[in-house]
Amino acid sequence: MDILRPTKDSHSFAIPELARVTDIHLELIVDFKRRVLKGKVILTITRLPSINQIILDNLGLVISSVTNVLDGTLLHHHHVVTNSAFGSPFCVDLPPTIGTTYNPECKIQIEYETSPNSPALYWLTAAQTGDGKHPFLLSNNKLIYARSWFPCQDTPSVKFTYSAKILVPKNFSVLMSALSHNNVDREDPQLDQYEFRQHLPVSSCAVIIAVGLLQTKKLNERMNIFAEENIFKTNYIKIFRYTAIEKMLQIAKRLCGSYMWGRYDICVLPPSIAHFEIECPCVTFISPLLLHGDRSYVGDSLARNISQSWAGNLVSCSNYEHLWLNKSFSLFISRKIRRSVLYHKGIDVYLQREGLKNLNSLVQEPKNVNKLRCLLPNLEYLSPDILTKYVPYERGYFLLCHLENMLGGPTVFELFLQSYFDNFAFRSINTADWLNYLRQKFPDKVKVAFFLYIQTMMLEDVEWHLWFGNIFFTPIMPELSEMSAWENKCFILAKKWINWDILRVHDIPPFMTADERNLCNIEKILLLNNLHSSHQSLTTVKLCSLNNCFFCGIQNGGEIRFSWLLLCIKVQWDKKVESALNFAVKYCSPNYAYPIFKSLCKWREMRLLMIGQYYQNKKKILNETQEKLNKIL
């Protein structure tokens, strides 16, 4: 793709260069019985002098009325019928200018209600939550579905401030990607009210809401943790490595500049939502499985969330064809954070090999997504929330590594990062904007070149046509051809277990050193990966000994427990089947439940037990997981 091609957002009907939303105020009632949000939104709009209409994005919203906030008069509005999966244009005639003095700003109020089938709103039943007693609501805009819960210009090129007044059932709590303030203790016996204000501009995909019966614990001045009561009854909150999070935030500030969002609260999701990836400020959402992990596991999972406070929230891509500016930059920053937190010998090589493996795995994807396998894919008429998983954002990570090495090393390039985030703060940019700024900051590293479609100054020796072109390639990294000492240690340990002639269940391996008895979570994952590749050589007796050595402690993170249970199924250790099914039902996202049920399908003696457990617990399992499981049961 041409780096300099026009950057119109093909996934939005809005034309923000004519009329742009600058502030949004939401007043909504959360109705769990009907599974809808109902209320109004007030949009502050600025426009060009000759413009008398604004086009918003709408997907399934039922509009009751549109009025001029200034005088309450009704405003004409209509939908344009389309066959688009992205919804339809919602056109509103703007209030006329009063008097002879031109005022570009106006406010309109839209009364509306969401659809029970909104693709952005996850309405969990009581059975699907941790306590099993109260429902839970979570929004996930998935890049283009904010339009399904409030009218907006649903494109990352438009940023706005927002506020909200949310009414919820009594004793329920509300979290948003904004600062909470002025919460009212209403006399209403049925409803509580929460108010929020985000005074820094964000894009529509970063407006998030969560509602549930949550308890709160203060961790430090910046951070509260919110979770269901059953989580607070366990020991997991006490052992949660929140100090590691604060340390990672400090490292990120050193790399990227000031943290602008004030708070960094943590919401522990119900276990049924075991995977949740979203870029939003002020709050991060984590799986309860993360509470079990040690520093290496917490760092692995949360460094990416933290890096998105800068790459994605502070500076955003202008449309999703340039999403690498969010994804690749957050990868680059998060691996620097992990490197600083883990300070383990060989961590540099391990993290880069991890990226290279992820990049190479795309080669195995279906051939019909070849056209997406570049950093700047053409996503016109394609759904970005599904297809961006085929885009090689790891290539962008290696491009940034290459530039860092070429331009003077980490010290020099980290100063550039700080300057980059400061220069483009609260703006939406494209690749050309980034490249021009790079050339501006490193003028001594450029030469005049006319190559392919890039008709301007070009950084010395960078083959931009390869990094951004449609040819799928993986960077040549000779230093990554051999395993790090870290990986080699786990590989050798796995070999020892595989070759050990164990006689009795409680035998202790003679080769186990004190260091090998105290593996961190990431080392356990590496060990399990090696054991999976040679599972034919394992026995249930060996698994029992492995369990006693490594996998029965409270500080084993979710990925370890999942991988361990899958290994037990592969080796057909029948005593672990119940644990595996309980895990799949409790943490029933497709990422966990589907592989476990699929593996048990191949075990003839356990198939009936597995099917019985599924139907017995079906009401607890998410609809998207049920859809996948129904295909194999």
How confident is the chain (633 residues) per 10-residue block, as mean pLDDT? 63 96 98 98 95 97 97 95 89 81 88 97 95 95 96 98 97 96 74 96 98 93 92 75 85 97 94 82 91 72 92 96 95 92 72 79 62 80 81 90 89 96 98 94 65 46 81 64 78 92 74 83 90 91 90 77 95 95 93 94 91 93 90 85
Answer yes or no: do 434 and 528 share one domain: no
Of 468, 500, 522, the one marking the end of a domain is 468
Cα–Cα distance for residue pair 78/81, rounded to 1 Å: 9
Strands 265-268 and 283-286: parallel
Alpha carbon dihedral 344, 350, 354, 355, in 10-degree steps, equals: 100
Answer yes or no: do 502 and 618 share one domain: yes
Answer yes or no: do 511 and 453 share one domain: no
Q: Give exposure, 461-487, as e/b (b: 16+ Cβ within 10 Å).
A: ebebeebbbeeeeebeeeebeebbebb
Cα–Cα distance for residue pair 30/33, rounded to 1 Å: 9
Answer yes or no: do 447 and 533 share one domain: no
CB atoms within 10 A of CB 513: 8
| Residue 291 maps to a domain | no
| Residue 300 maps to a domain | no
Cα-atom radius of gyration of the chain, to the nearest Å? 26
Cα–Cα distance for residue pair 360/42, rounded to 1 Å: 47
Structure confidence at residue 454 (pLDDT): 39
Answer yes or no: do 494 and 455 share one domain: no
CATH number (domain holding residue 422):
1.10.390.10
Answer yes or no: do 444 and 492 share one domain: no
DSSP classification of residue 105: E
Cα–Cα distance for residue pair 391/371, rounded to 1 Å: 9
Tell me how many domains the chain contains. 3
| Residue 321 maps to a domain | yes
Strand partners, 93: 53
CB 445 within 8 A of CB 436: no
Structure confidence at residue 169 (pLDDT): 96
Answer yes or no: do 432 and 534 share one domain: no
| Residue 264 maps to a domain | no
| Residue 4 maps to a domain | no
Structure confidence at residue 610 (pLDDT): 92
DSSP classification of residue 101: S
Of 468, 498, 527, the one marking the end of a domain is 468
CB atoms within 10 A of CB 360: 12
| Residue 68 maps to a domain | yes
Query: Measured at the alpha carbon of residue 599, what is the angle toward residues 597 and 602, in degrees to the nearest 5?
Result: 110
Strand 53-58's sheet: what is its strand order?
A: 53-58, 88-93, 77-79
Answer yes or no: do 55 and 183 share one domain: yes
Answer yes or no: do 464 and 489 share one domain: no
Of 199, 221, 236, the one marking the end of a domain is 199
| Residue 586 maps to a domain | yes
Answer yes or no: do 463 and 497 share one domain: no
CB atoms within 10 A of CB 93: 16
- Residue 92: give the domain boundaries: 13-118+142-199
| Residue 298 maps to a domain | no
Answer yes or no: do 493 and 464 share one domain: no
Answer yes or no: do 492 and 533 share one domain: yes
Structure confidence at residue 385 (pLDDT): 82
CATH number (domain holding residue 56):
2.60.40.1730
For residue range 218-230, what is the model confidence (pLDDT) as tens digits?
988 999 999 999 8
Structure confidence at residue 239 (pLDDT): 66
Q: Select from 310, 360, 364 the least CA-distant residue to 332.
A: 310
At residue 9, φ and ψ (nearest 5 deg) are -85, 110
The three-state secondary structure class of 493 is helix
